[in-house]
Amino acid sequence: MTRYPIARKAFWDARVTAIGGGLLSFSLALMYVLMFPWVQDAFEGIELPAIYESFGGGAGSITEPAGFLATEYFSFVPLVIIIFAVVAGTAATAGEESAGTLDLLLAQPVTRRRVVLEKAAGLTAAVSVAVVAGAPGAWIGQLIVDFDLAPWRILLAMVLTVPLVLLFLTIAMFAGATLPNRAAAVVLTTTAAVAGYVLQTLGLLVTQLEDARKLTPFYWAEASEVLVGDINPFRPLLLLVPAAAALILTLGAFERRDIASGAREVGWRRWLPRRKPAQAA
């Protein structure tokens, strides 16, 4: 007998996220580390505009390994992994429902809670692989070029990005369990992620928006501190609280809802008021 079959299947179904996202993290981390000596030489002694400095958060200049990694890698790659996670998260329930396989699954002696929790576990494993796969890429780069940053700090910075990705994963699952179709859930969650990313980025540049950054999950997941300074894992781990809340909401929503029959793709018209059909003459 296989233990946690739904979690295993969820992980298998999200293999594109794990492998695709992992390859992306790995290759970009490797590429940036290999690029670093060239960037360092090119910009050494040049006064860079504040915008370049700000992208690195508190990690310093892009002519320093930590600042460069924070600016080039951590300001961009997590957003891409989040989009992978959103696609996988909406597939968990809404995707199965659209494909018409959910009713056969839920006709088995399994609780809906177990289905959601096992799927969340499988997807968590998949997105974690995608996020953390960047560390070996950076380490290999360090073997080739001079990149003076403790490998454990690189790994920790990536591990502490996982709660950020998990938050959007669980939001995607919640959206998938409540919205009428998967496409709507993908669009809404991706929009929320991009909006948060934009606010975080603008907050680094526009003084008036500095405090507003605290509203975005990206602010709490900044890798710069971990790369250079004292490590405060509490800050990114704080994101696990809303992630858990989103998961609990998903459980509640999924528990109460009707399961659509067969394959479906319900349009937005479902939410519009019904019009009575015109009487035949």
Partner 1 sequence: MSTSAAIETRELTRTFGDVVALDRMSLRVEQGEIFGFLGPNGAGKSTTIRILLDLIRPTSGSASVLGFDCQRESMEVRSRIGYLPGDLRLYGGLTGQQTVELFASLRNGRVDDAYVRELASEMELDLGKKASTYSKGNRQKLGVLLALLGRPQVLLLDEPTSGLDPLVQRTVWDVLRREAARGATVFFSSHVMSEVEQTCERVGILREGRLVAVEPVVAMKARALRHVEVSFAGEAPPADPLVVAGAKEIRRERATLEFEITGEIDPLLKALAAYHVVDLRTEQPTLDEILLAYYRHGVTA
User: Of 212 and 266, which has the nearer Cβ to partner 1?
Assistant: 266
The nearest distance, CB 103 to partner 1, in angstroms, is 5
Tokens of 281: 């003459």
Interatomic CA distance for residues 137 and 124, integer angstroms: 21
> By CB under 8 A, is residue 107 in contact with partner 1?
yes
Interatomic CA distance for residues 165 and 217, integer angstroms: 10
Q: Which among 165, 18, 152 is positioned nearest to 78, based on CA atoms?
A: 165
The nearest distance, CB 95 to partner 1, in angstroms, is 12
The nearest distance, CB 10 to partner 1, in angstroms, is 12
Interface with partner 1: number of residues (CB under 8 A): 26
> By CB under 8 A, is residue 145 in contact with partner 1?
no
Choice from 23, 27, 38, 100 touching partner 1 (CB under 8 A): 100
Q: Looking at residue 180, what DSSP letter applies?
A: S
Interatomic CA distance for residues 208 and 255, integer angstroms: 43
User: Of 100 and 151, which has the nearer Cβ to partner 1?
Assistant: 100
> By CB under 8 A, is residue 99 in contact with partner 1?
yes
Q: What binding mask, one character per residue, do residues 13-42 give for partner 1 by CB under 8 A, x or -?
A: x-----------------------------
Interatomic CA distance for residues 81 and 17, integer angstroms: 8
Q: 79: helix, coil or strand?
A: helix
- Residue located via tokens 């609280």: 241
Residue 101 dihedral angles phi and psi, to the nearest 5°: -95, -10
Interatomic CA distance for residues 49 and 158, integer angstroms: 27
Please count the CA atoms within 13 angstroms of the CA of 223 that sit on its side-chain side: 31
**Inter-helix orientation angle 77-90/182-205, to 10°:** 160
- Residue located via tokens 């519009």: 272
Choice from 151, 233, 262, 267 touching partner 1 (CB under 8 A): 262
The nearest distance, CB 9 to partner 1, in angstroms, is 6
Tokens of 265: 């793709």
The nearest distance, CB 111 to partner 1, in angstroms, is 6
> By CB under 8 A, is residue 259 in contact with partner 1?
yes
> By CB under 8 A, is residue 268 in contact with partner 1?
no
User: Of 108 and 207, which has the nearer Cβ to partner 1?
Assistant: 108
User: Of 98 and 189, which has the nearer Cβ to partner 1?
Assistant: 98
User: Of 34 and 259, which has the nearer Cβ to partner 1?
Assistant: 259
The nearest distance, CB 96 to partner 1, in angstroms, is 9
* Residues forming the site for partner 1 (CB under 8 A): 1-3, 5-6, 9, 12-13, 99-101, 103-111, 258-259, 261-263, 274
